[in-house]
């Protein structure tokens, strides 16, 4: 039974059915300050029914209530304040955490149902942007959070690998490309070709026409066209995979837009049969006026399909293949309109499951206040930033713990973890400034700060060499610092749920910071290893803290080194 249930049940007994347990639970609040107890019941609503002042009602309740499980129950003005019995609360939570370990907070809500997570999705032959990095890191964390709640996340990298631009790129390659140069430095070279040929195509319709024809050939399965396109894709993926390795993120599928090239006819036909396609200047559109949206352009004049056409086919394919409960798209805020249109078209076509598609937008990253640009330097720039983060982590470890055995490994976990953590602690819809100094700092609200708290606990536990089974030690709460920790530990399962409901890993990152701070206060205030009766109780408290810190970090895709 959680504390809210405990309070509601005690109240409902005292109130003799005036309010149902559920009604009471809905009214109970968390007091603003902890000296007003752990939970409070405002008596206002009862005043009318009982024809007494809220103050009088509160006083009466406090006198009559059965206070089993509470340290005390006090009336303060119109409120009844409940102070939980700290020792029994602490013992219960800590035993639960230690017994369940990393499974503390697991739920079966998802019942194994599939949740596709569309994430990362860079465009081949183009730079991997900081936006793609955000999508990768946020998507990975959301997948982990959903998995913890019993869902089966399906991580899909919806690569941008189809469209007329690749026809143009083939044209450019045929004209000026050189295999060896491209192989040596694929993204930079392909981008150069792309920029050059686009400029040319604007001037010269014949070049544009040639690009269009190559794309047409691609769509018709022409061997040469597909061979060159596939090669662009392969060399790009080699580059992208280096980033994924560094980030330690994996995917279930690399099914990009090209995967749906043979699945678009069906949805276009479907829209046609439902009389939703209209001709406008030779192109085919779906009118979305009643959604207050611009018309969705489904096919161009020349019959070529578009980004949204592929996303329509994708959505239908995912519903058919995964029978999802929810289908998530972690894509930057600048595509909000695209996803509104996508859902509206599907809705028009009668697919009610389109309501289960969720666009999860995120904000932009700046550097020194300016837009973070990967235009020049490209993938390399992001990789360099990650490497630089690792270097900085290594320097700090060198200072703090020069004898650490697996320094290189730990520096990677700390450096890369710092970048991820910083991204994830930001409210998703906000942007942030990419500042490595701040990210990799061991002080402040950072990943390394949380990792360090965890490693410090591990080192205390190693020193303690305790032989007792912490799972059975009764926990004694002898100071407010310990009680703070206990309250956070209790909050963890709820935090995970809120993070899932809001698609907001930042709730877990902020939680982890608070828990690490609470531990550091405890550490500063209490002599944990002192040999007295409460030693085992203290060890139980900190070992539960370590479990939850580590699990919080895991949900963010950040490692928790034992030593640093």
Six token digits for residue 551: 């699990």
- Give the binding-site size for ligand ARG (rule: CB under 6 A): 10
Nearest to 86 by CA among 25, 31, 37, 40: 37
How many C-beta neighbours within 10 Å does residue 390 have?
22
**Cβ contacts of 83 within 8 Å, gap of 6 or more:** 37, 38, 70, 71, 72, 73, 74
To the nearest whole angstrom, how small is the minimum distance from the Cβ of residue 164 to ligand ARG?
15
Task: Report the DSSP beta bridge partners of residue 371.
Answer: 366
Is there a contact between 440 and 386 (Cβ–Cβ < 8 Å)? no
Is residue 223 packed enough to be buried (19+ CB in 10 Å), middle (13-18) or exposed (0-12)? exposed
239 binds ligand ARG (CB under 6 A): no
* Residues 315-344, mask of contacts with ligand ARG (x by CB under 6 A): --------------x-x-------------
To the nearest whole angstrom, how small is the minimum distance from the Cβ of residue 311 to ligand ARG?
5
**Region of 29-37, 121-129, 202-210, 223-231 interacting with ligand ARG (CB under 6 A):** 121-129
Nearer to ligand ARG by Cβ, of 70 and 259: the residue is 259
Interface pick for ligand ARG out of 8, 59, 91, 123 (rule CB under 6 A): 123
Interface pick for ligand ARG out of 210, 311, 423, 481 (rule CB under 6 A): 311
To the nearest whole angstrom, how small is the minimum distance from the Cβ of residue 338 to ligand ARG?
7
**Cβ contacts of 175 within 8 Å, gap of 6 or more:** 197
Six token digits for residue 343: 């859902």
For 169, what's the count of Cα atoms within 13 Å in the CB-facing half-sphere?
27
121 binds ligand ARG (CB under 6 A): yes
Nearer to ligand ARG by Cβ, of 362 and 421: the residue is 362
Is residue 244 packed enough to be buried (19+ CB in 10 Å), middle (13-18) or exposed (0-12)? middle
118 binds ligand ARG (CB under 6 A): yes
The residue nearest ligand ARG at its CB is 160
Nearer to ligand ARG by Cβ, of 58 and 121: the residue is 121
Six token digits for residue 455: 């490693």
449 binds ligand ARG (CB under 6 A): no
**Region of 27-35, 117-125, 171-179, 485-493 interacting with ligand ARG (CB under 6 A):** 117-125
**Rounded Cα distance, 100 and 351, in Å:** 41
Placement of tokens 């955000």 in the chain: 134
154 binds ligand ARG (CB under 6 A): no
- Angle among Cα 553, 394, 396 to the nearest 5 degrees reads 85
To the nearest whole angstrom, how small is the minimum distance from the Cβ of residue 5 to ligand ARG?
42
Nearer to ligand ARG by Cβ, of 123 and 171: the residue is 123
Is there a contact between 459 and 468 (Cβ–Cβ < 8 Å)? no
161 binds ligand ARG (CB under 6 A): no
**Rounded Cα distance, 428 and 410, in Å:** 27
Nearer to ligand ARG by Cβ, of 95 and 158: the residue is 158
Interface pick for ligand ARG out of 86, 95, 148, 158 (rule CB under 6 A): 158
484 binds ligand ARG (CB under 6 A): no
Phi-psi region of 70 (alpha: psi -120 to 50; beta: other; left: phi over 0): beta
553 binds ligand ARG (CB under 6 A): no
362 binds ligand ARG (CB under 6 A): no
To the nearest whole angstrom, how small is the minimum distance from the Cβ of residue 121 to ligand ARG?
4
**Cβ contacts of 231 within 8 Å, gap of 6 or more:** none
Binding site for ligand ARG (CB under 6 A): 118, 121-123, 158, 160, 311, 314, 329, 331
């Amino acid at each position: 039974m959680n504390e809210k249930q405990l309070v509601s049940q005690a109240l409902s007994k005292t109130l003799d059915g005036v309010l149902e347990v559920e009604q009471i639970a809905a009214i109970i609040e968390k007091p603003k300050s902890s000296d007003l107890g752990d939970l409070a019941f405002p008596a206002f609503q009862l005043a009318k029914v009982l024809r007494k002042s809220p103050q009088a009602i509160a006083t009466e309740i406090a006198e009559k209530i059965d206070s089993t499980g509470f340290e005390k129950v006090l009336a303060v003005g119109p409120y009844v304040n409940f102070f939980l019995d700290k020792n029994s609360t602490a013992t219960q939570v800590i035993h639960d955490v230690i017994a369940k370990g990393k499974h503390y907070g697991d739920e079966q809500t998802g019942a194994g149902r599939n949740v596709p997570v569309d994430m990362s999705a860079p465009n081949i032959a183009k730079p991997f942007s900081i936006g793609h990095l955000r999508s990768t890191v946020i998507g990975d964390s959301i997948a982990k959070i959903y998995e913890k709640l019993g869902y089966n996340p399906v991580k899909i990298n919806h690569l941008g690998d189809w469209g007329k631009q690749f026809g143009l790129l083939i044209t450019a390659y045929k004209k000026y490309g050189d295999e060896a140069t491209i192989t040596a430095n694929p993204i930079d070279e392909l981008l150069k070709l792309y920029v050059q040929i686009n400029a040319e195509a604007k001037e010269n319709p014949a070049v544009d026409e040639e690009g269009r024809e190559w794309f047409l050939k691609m769509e018709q399965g022409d061997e040469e066209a597909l061979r060159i396109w596939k090669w662009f894709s392969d060399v790009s993926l080699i580059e992208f995979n280096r980033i994924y390795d560094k980030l330690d993120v994996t995917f279930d599928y690399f099914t990009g837009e090209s995967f749906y090239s043979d699945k678009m006819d069906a949805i276009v036909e479907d829209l046609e049969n439902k009389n939703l396609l209209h001709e406008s200047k030779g192109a085919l559109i779906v009118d979305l006026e009643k959604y207050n949206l611009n018309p969705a352009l489904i096919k161009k004049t020349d019959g070529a399909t578009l980004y949204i056409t592929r996303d329509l086919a994708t959505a239908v394919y995912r519903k058919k293949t995964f029978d999802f409960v929810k289908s998530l798209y972690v894509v930057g805020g600048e595509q909000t309109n695209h996803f509104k249109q996508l859902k509206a078209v599907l809705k028009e076509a009668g697919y009610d499951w389109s309501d289960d598609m969720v666009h999860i937008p995120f904000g932009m990253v700046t550097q020194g206040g300016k837009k973070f640009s990967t235009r020049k330097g490209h993938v390399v720039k992001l990789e360099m930033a990650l490497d630089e983060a690792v270097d900085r982590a290594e320097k700090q470890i060198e200072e703090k713990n020069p004898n650490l055995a697996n320094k290189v490994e730990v520096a990677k976990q700390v450096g890369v973890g710092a970048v991820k953590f910083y991204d994830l602690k930001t409210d998703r819809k906000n942007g942030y400034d990419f500042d490595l100094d701040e990210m990799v700092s061991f002080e402040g609200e950072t990943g390394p700060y949380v990792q360090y708290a965890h490693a410090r606990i591990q080192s205390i536990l190693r020193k303690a060499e305790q032989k007792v089974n912490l799972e059975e030690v009764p926990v004694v709460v002898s100071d407010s610092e310990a009680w703070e920790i206990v309250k956070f530990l209790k909050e963890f399962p709820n935090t995970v749920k809120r993070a899932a409901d809001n698609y907001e890993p930042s709730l877990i990152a902020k939680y982890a910071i608070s828990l690490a701070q609470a531990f550091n206060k405890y550490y500063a205030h209490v002599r944990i290893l002192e040999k007295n009766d409460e030693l085992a109780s203290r060890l139980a408290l900190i070992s539960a803290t370590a479990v939850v810190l580590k699990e919080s970090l895991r949900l963010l895709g950040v490692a928790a080194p034992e030593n640093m």
